[in-house]
Copies of this chain bind each other. A is one copy, B any other.
């Protein structure tokens, strides 16, 4: 079986497991107050060039999105997101469960268009009845998006400016941030820290067993945030589990190297797909590639041993599938894939 279905089907990068082993029998304080967690926070501040950043480690993406959005919004506010945003479609209603509407806008290859965001907010305040409507209280973007695409620096600047003008936070979901940073892009981590109000650095899809690092960049972490995390059932007694892994990820450039590895292999994957005349659904510069198959091919590829993700119906006869590289993909995997295709 050849696994290209996602970027989280393996366990941890070996260096992270090793770090867990090496620190395993140390007695450490609980709930994210241990020295490895503190060290990881410090390293994230350094690489983000945001020395006053407030960093908290959480278990997963949906939990992180729910906690950030629920705590930064007022009760009468909703969050603006692309209709394809993860919070809109694939988190089982976690945002609404916490009391807030996801105000969806059309997407352009998974991205929000700053013009649409500006227009939505303008129209909202122009409406005489807006006190009976849900206030736009935050802008949520994912980077890379659910379609693997990336915002340009200029796009992020424009979104940041709009949010600044209306005094609402800009939140960047970085579940796959490492892959985004390693792609051809003019957006680096310090710029993201500067232009957003809060973002998170994904671990689960970047070689950690578990863990996402939420970074509040503008001294805007809600007061008593750890109590809020506890109240959501999201505070781990052994916070070290995530702290040790992130401490290692941000040692010796590992996080960035894992991203680069996956992006290099993604480029080779694209070359193979082009060579074999596969049709791309869109142009993705990151580790997720989307191609359009005739429905008849789906079963053939499965039987040949390829594990992919069914993404969506394209039309009656065609289907979009996802192939993803990751920190754990090898050149041998690509060669084997080439043979199958």
* Residues of A that sit less than 8 Å from B by CB: 1, 3, 6, 8-12, 14, 17, 20-21, 23-30, 59-67, 70-71, 74-76, 78, 89-94, 96-102, 128-129, 131-135, 204-205, 209-210, 223-224, 226-228, 230-238, 240-241, 307, 310, 328
Contact indicator A76/B93 (Cβ below 8 Å): yes
Q: How many copies does the complex hold?
A: 4
Q: 27 A-B contacts, Cβ less than 8 Å apart?
A: A6-B30, A10-B24, A11-B238, A12-B24, A14-B24, A20-B209, A60-B237, A61-B237, A63-B233, A63-B234, A71-B75, A74-B223, A75-B97, A90-B133, A91-B231, A92-B133, A92-B227, A93-B133, A94-B230, A94-B232, A97-B232, A98-B99, A205-B237, A210-B241, A232-B233, A233-B234, A234-B234
Main secondary structure of the interface of A (DSSP, over half): loop
Q: Which residues of B contact A61 (CB under 8 A)?
A: 237
Contacts of A310 in B (CB 8 A): 128
Q: A10-B27, A11-B23, A12-B24 are in contact. List 18 more A-B contacts (CB 8 A).
A: A8-B237, A10-B26, A11-B25, A17-B20, A17-B21, A20-B209, A27-B307, A59-B234, A67-B233, A76-B224, A76-B227, A90-B132, A91-B132, A91-B231, A92-B134, A94-B231, A131-B226, A234-B234
Minimum C-beta distance from A102 to chain B (A): 8
Q: Measured between C-beta atoms, what is the minimum distance from A126 to chain B in Å?
A: 9
Out of B9, B67, B224, B230, name the residue touching A30 (CB < 8 Å).
B9
